[in-house]
Amino acid sequence: MARTKKVGISGRFGSRYGKGVKDRIKDIERIQRKKHTCPECLKPALKREASGIWKCKKCGAKFAGKAYEPSLT
C-alpha cells in the first residue's frame, strides 16, 4: 500500500479525490482500526468486524455499535 507523509494511509488513492477527502478518510480509518476497550471484560481487544458490528478478541462478546466506533454509553 502506498503511503505519503501528508495523507498517510489514504495515500493508496493516489492523485484522486483531493486532499480534504483523504484527510477525512484518514481520520475515520484511524478511529475504526484501533483497538477499543471491551465493555464486558474491560480489555483493549475490541475490533470492528463489519459496519456497526464489534467483537472482543478476548471474551468473545459481540454487539452492535456505531459504524466507525463502538458506542460505549
Could you report the per-residue pLDDT of 29-63, keeping only the tens digit for each?
999 888 899 999 999 999 999 999 999 999 999 99
* Averaged pLDDT, 6-14: 85
Query: Which H, E and C letters describe 20-36, residue by residue?
Result: HHHHHHHHHHHHHHCCE
What CA–CA distances, in Å, run from 15 to 8, 11, 24? 13, 8, 15
Please check the confidence at residue 16 and state whether its pLDDT lies above 80.
Answer: yes
Which CATH topology does 36-73 take?
Answer: N-terminal domain of TfIIb (2.20.25)
Which residues are paired to 54 by β-bridges?
Answer: 48, 63
Phi, psi dihedral angles at 30 (to 5 degrees)? -65, -40
Choice between 55 and 4, residue whose per-residue pLDDT is larger: 55
What residue spans define the domains of the chain? Answer: 1-33, 36-73
Residue 27 has a pLDDT of 92
Q: Over the Cα atoms of the chain, what is R_g?
A: 15
